[in-house]
Amino acid sequence: MHEMAIVQSMLAILEDQARRHGATRIIAVNLEFGVLTAVVPSAIEFGFEIVSKGSLAEGACLNISIIPVKALCQECHKEITMNDYDPFCPACGSAALRIVEGRDEMRVASMEIE
């Protein structure tokens, strides 16, 4: 379960940023993951609940967004958005797709602190 390592790293970043801004508590966290990272949102939520106990983020509301794959066809120049990766362009059938989003994003988009 690589999600637990992700949650531990994410929590360290959250607490560091919260303390830098004088926060006493993290109320909500908005996360974004590319669909191809294969992150399971329920595993992130479960891990966050466990790892955040006793931290500034304990009890924080966790919102997870999955970013779909966005690719650009190098042949027909069409931009394609898909929830599951297909290596072929749906417009022209070419296998010359360049992924521009949805592959490796793992980020804290924002957080609400008190």
Q: Where are the alpha helices (DSSP H) in the chain?
A: 2-20, 41-51
Task: Quote the strand ranges of 1-114, DSSP E.
Answer: 26-34, 61-67, 69-73, 79-82, 97-101, 106-113
At 25, list the tokens: 């508590």
Dihedral of the alpha carbons of 12, 10, 64, 70, in degrees to the nearest 10 = 150
pLDDT one-digit tens code per residue, 18-34: 999 999 999 999 999 99
Q: Which pTM value belongs to this model?
A: 0.86
Which pLDDT score, from 0 to 100, does residue 83 have?
85
At residue 1 the predicted structure's pLDDT band, cuts being 50, 70 and 90, is low
Domains belonging to the chain, first-starting first, are 2-113 (3.30.2320.80)
Average pLDDT over residues 85-92: 93
pLDDT one-digit tens code per residue, 2-22: 889 999 999 999 999 999 999
